[in-house]
């Protein structure tokens, strides 16, 4: 299928048929893709290609399945080595169900004109995916059909010749450009991934889980993932219990012991749409600082509507 699409988009005999087209798909489990019907539509790909905002919106809408809204994000940025040059990044994604670690039934396509080498791009994408798409869960189910791809053409490079963002596995430290781009990419991909969670099938609550004080980041992420997969927890959050509006935290457990809960205040907080759960494993009394590392996971509640949607849709 990729070969045939390449022939139409790139032209037959160009030698780039298979290299220029990636096949990405999600779909109903246990059913074959209607390959012939898809191939017949390939000519429309070339006819509808473009770079305007409307073209991005059409692409974002085109990959929706049970999504209730299309998911598109973009931003501009500069690099430390060339602050006078503005680069851009844009991305689309889809997904609303069967979402868990290793992405499951979600697709993501990200494009940037930043000057970056292929080896750096792969390293940056893998690191960012680990802290974004691999930190979301809707119902804890995975799939075989997930993919996030990133493309970079270097068009924003000064004189279209210099590639300042590179990755050297043997170096003790990486360049300021790579570090800056990595930080931005993690935030950007997290924004895309969170759109998937906010569109969770039947969801009414957006839940942020923060685990602090774990011995390692992977250990903290494992704890956060376990909470995000808990069906009882997610059903319980259907009535929420903690806001993110700056008010004092509502504690349930402190230093291993249960804390008496103000039920009147808890009832008031149940109306909040955004819920934040903090698991602080430290016992030294030190307050949390912004530069302290934490593992963050995003999930949503499980509702009556979730059951209805999945009862009516064959996965």
89-134 confidence digits (pLDDT tens): 999 999 998 898 776 679 999 999 999 999 999 999 999 999 999 9
Residues composing the chain: 315
pLDDT at 43: 83
Q: How far apart are CA 137 and CA 194, in angstroms?
A: 10
Tell whether 254 is in a known binding site.
Answer: no
- Residue 68 assigned ligand-binding role: no
Q: Of 165, 182, 204, 199, nearest to 301 (Cα)? A: 204
**Nearest alpha-carbon partner for 19 in 3, 41, 39:** 3
Is 65 marked as binding a ligand?
Answer: yes
- DSSP per residue, 261-296: --HHHHHHHTT-SEEEEEEE---S-PPP-TTS-EEE
- pLDDT tens digits, residue range 239-292? 554 444 445 566 666 666 666 777 777 666 666 788 888 898 887 767 777 667
Establish whether 267 is an annotated binding residue.
Answer: no
Under the banding of pLDDT at 50, 70 and 90, the label for residue 49 is confident
Which structure tokens are listed for 228? 């995000």
Tell me how far apart the alpha carbons of residues 165 and 174 are, in angstroms, rounded to a whole number: 9
* Residue 105 in marked binding region: yes
User: What are the pLDDT digits (tens) for 143-190?
Assistant: 777 899 999 998 887 665 566 799 888 888 899 999 999 999 999 999
- Delineate the domains of the chain, giving CATH numbers in brackets: 1-49 (no CATH), 51-198 (3.60.70.12), 206-312 (3.10.20.340)
Residues carrying an active site annotation = 105
């Amino acid at each position: 299928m990729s070969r045939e699409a390449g022939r139409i988009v790139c032209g037959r005999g160009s030698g780039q048929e298979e290299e220029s087209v990636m096949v990405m798909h999600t779909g109903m489990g246990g059913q074959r893709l209607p390959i012939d019907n898809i191939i017949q539509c390939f000519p429309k790909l070339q006819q509808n290609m473009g770079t305007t905002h409307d073209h991005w919106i059409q692409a974002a809408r085109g990959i929706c399945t049970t999504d209730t809204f299309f998911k598109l994000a973009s931003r501009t940025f500069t690099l430390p080595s060339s602050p006078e040059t503005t680069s851009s990044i844009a991305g689309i994604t889809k997904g609303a169900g069967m979402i868990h670690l290793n992405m499951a039934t979600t697709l993501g396509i990200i494009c940037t004109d930043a000057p970056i080498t292929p080896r750096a791009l792969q390293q940056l994408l893998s690191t960012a995916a680990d802290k974004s798409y691999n930190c979301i869960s809707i119902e804890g189910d995975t799939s075989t059909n997930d993919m996030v791809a990133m493309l970079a053409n270097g068009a924003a490079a000064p004189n279209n010749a210099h590639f300042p963002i590179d990755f050297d596995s043997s170096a003790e430290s990486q360049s300021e450009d790579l570090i800056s781009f990595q930080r931005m990419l993690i935030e950007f991909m997290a924004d895309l991934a969170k759109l998937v969670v906010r569109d969770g099938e039947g969801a009414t609550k957006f839940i942020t889980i923060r685990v602090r004080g774990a011995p390692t980041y992977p250990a903290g992420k494992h704890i956060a993932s376990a909470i995000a997969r808990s069906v009882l927890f997610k059903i319980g959050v259907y009535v929420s219990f903690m806001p993110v509006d700056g008010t004092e935290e509502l504690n349930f457990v402190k230093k291993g012991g249960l804390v008496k809960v103000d039920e009147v205040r808890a009832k008031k907080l149940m109306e909040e749409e955004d819920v934040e759960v903090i698991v602080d494993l430290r016992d030294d009394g030190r307050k949390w600082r912004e530069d302290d590392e934490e593992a963050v996971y995003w999930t949503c509640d499980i509702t009556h509507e979730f059951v209805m949607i999945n009862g009516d849709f064959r996965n």
